[in-house]
Structure 1
């Protein structure tokens, strides 16, 4: 999909950095959130839609609905900021035939079974393996919290933090 301005995994989804920095930096004119739970929760979906800046449309789709619309070319005239809440949602989307050249990881909070791997970003070993599988399909995956940060490639993070994957 050549009209993806930025694909970002960030469990906060639409928040200050996204609306003030990433939209401008990427040149996106539309935010699409791909998340099965949010696609069925109208209350939370409306919260994220209201958080977007004026003039930026926010749509929320399940993985299946997003892939159907993407394959049909429904987003061809848009410049997209794709947001995923989790690695699992991204993996499901790739497994459904979606492909993009770059994936940015910008925010995944710590929880049980995860370790801090870069700044405030935490991954479990299972998530690291899933990302390495996507990397092995020819996708550039990098960590970058804000546009001023130098992107850190997944490979270097995995080598430092997950010796079992080396």
Structure 2
């Protein structure tokens, strides 16, 4: 098998919702949404809600654990233009360390929670998040913050 055609990887706490499933998917020309998240892979209700959004966009959607993503993504067809969506930086780091060929990482939405500080209006990070993102960038991934496609990309080194 060849290398999977991952057109973009995005961190979004909400995973697939209107902005991801419609705006981003059409903007980057993806035809498959791949949600790599252990909890969602085991939650039929979350899958049903996200599948409805994908259906609206006319794209396929899969829900895989991180491990299944690592072991299976290399079998993707060249026709599949994959939009990989994950919940947090630590999950992306797991995928990168597992050999998933991520070239670009869009940080889109990381909600506020205790101990996190504001990076942008929609991105909050703690030291663990920052360390994971720096390690991902050090592995050669282009890491940037961008809420919607028409926003200017903010390189990681400019925001943390």
Question: 1:66-92 deviations in whole A, cap 9, x for unaligned?
Answer: 111113x23433001110011121111
User: Deviation at 1:51?
Assistant: 2.1
Tell me the distance in 2 between the aligned counterparts of 1:19 and 1:42.
18
With the length of structure 1 as denominator, give the TM-score of the two structures.
0.89
Aligned to 2:70: 67
Question: 1:25-75 deviations in whole A, cap 9, x for unaligned?
Answer: 10001100000111111222122112222521111000111111113x234
**What is the SS of the residue equivalent to 2:78?**
coil
Query: Aligned Cα RMSD in Å?
Result: 1.3
Tell me the distance in 2 between the aligned counterparts of 1:153 and 1:76.
29
Long gaps (5+) in structure 2: none
Tell me the distance in 1 between the aligned counterparts of 2:38 and 2:22.
26
Count of residues paired in the alignment = 157
Aligned to 2:22: 20
Long gaps (5+) in structure 1: 159-166
Structure 1 pair 75–82 and aligned structure 2 pair: CA distance change class (3 A): farther
CA contact (8 A) 2:4 2:77 kept: no
**What is the SS of the residue equivalent to 2:9?**
strand
Tell me the distance in 2 between the aligned counterparts of 1:139 and 1:19.
23
CA contact (8 A) 1:102 1:139 kept: yes
Which residue, 136, 155, 160 being the options, matches 2:138?
136
Aligned to 1:38: 40
CA contact (8 A) 1:34 1:83 kept: yes
Tell me the distance in 2 between the aligned counterparts of 1:30 and 1:62.
16
Aligned to 2:91: 89
With the length of structure 2 as denominator, give the TM-score of the two structures.
0.92
Aligned to 1:98: 100
CA contact (8 A) 2:36 2:63 kept: yes
Structure 1 pair 38–75 and aligned structure 2 pair: CA distance change class (3 A): farther
